[in-house]
Structure 1
């Protein structure tokens, strides 16, 4: 398996573990500090949240692991073009089910999430 794909699979596993544990430090280790989270906001427009703000919310969210919930996460696709990659993943943080597109850049030899675009449903 290509080393970049292997590294991106490892990044995705860290992402899934961080979500299951609601571990902001684990998330911070794979997001670039200038990244953000983008979704359709409650008003129907595009909502962009800086990663530091999003991590603060994570710190105050009860983890699925703490609630005894089962995991349901999966890598749907990985697309790599030189120092750019797009991961499409699905996971759950009950009661919500998420589909996330993680735009990644290889920064100084390490893959980091530069942008998370997400949607969810209950």
Structure 2
């Protein structure tokens, strides 16, 4: 357990770096292949996107790094219970600020994101 919080902080840093670089492979390295991304969609209903489809869309996005946007990455909380963890993070992908809840499981000794629930504002 003493190594879990540092490992989760490292996972969060990889997540922040992947978002800043819009690096789908870096994201793929920390998401479990059966994970998904959930948000309130344009129609106001729940929208669930399988990780493979979400990673495909990431590959077509402009990276904040390409525009030298300033980073504001924050780990707001880390809650660990045995092989389960919940990370609450905040980051900027201009013009939006995102708050993400990352549900993680320790799979074969390695922390992986199994569910991302997100919201954003301009």
Report TM bin, short chain.
over 0.9
In structure 1, the residue corresponding to 2:75 is in which secondary structure? strand
Offset, 1:2: 2.1
- Residues 5-84 of structure 1 mapped to structure 2, 5 A cutoff: 5-84=5-84
In structure 1, the residue corresponding to 2:101 is in which secondary structure? strand
Offset, 1:68: 1.1
Counterpart Cα distance in 2 of 1:50 and 1:86:
19
In structure 1, the residue corresponding to 2:66 is in which secondary structure? coil
Counterpart Cα distance in 1 of 2:69 and 2:10:
22
* TM-score computed with the length of structure 1 as normaliser: 0.98
**Alignment deviations for residues 26-52 of structure 1 (CA, whole Å, 9 cap, x no partner):** 000000000000000010000000000
Give RMSD over aligned pairs. 0.9
Show the counterpart of 1:87.
87
**Alignment deviations for residues 12-66 of structure 1 (CA, whole Å, 9 cap, x no partner):** 0000000000000000000000000000001000000000000011100010000
**Size of the alignment, in residue pairs?**
122
**Alignment deviations for residues 59-97 of structure 1 (CA, whole Å, 9 cap, x no partner):** 000100001101011000000000000000000111110
* TM-score computed with the length of structure 2 as normaliser: 0.98
Counterpart Cα distance in 1 of 2:110 and 2:77:
19
Query: Hey, which bits of structure 1, 4+ residues long, moved more than 3 A?
Result: none
What 5-or-longer segments of structure 1 have no aligned partner?
none
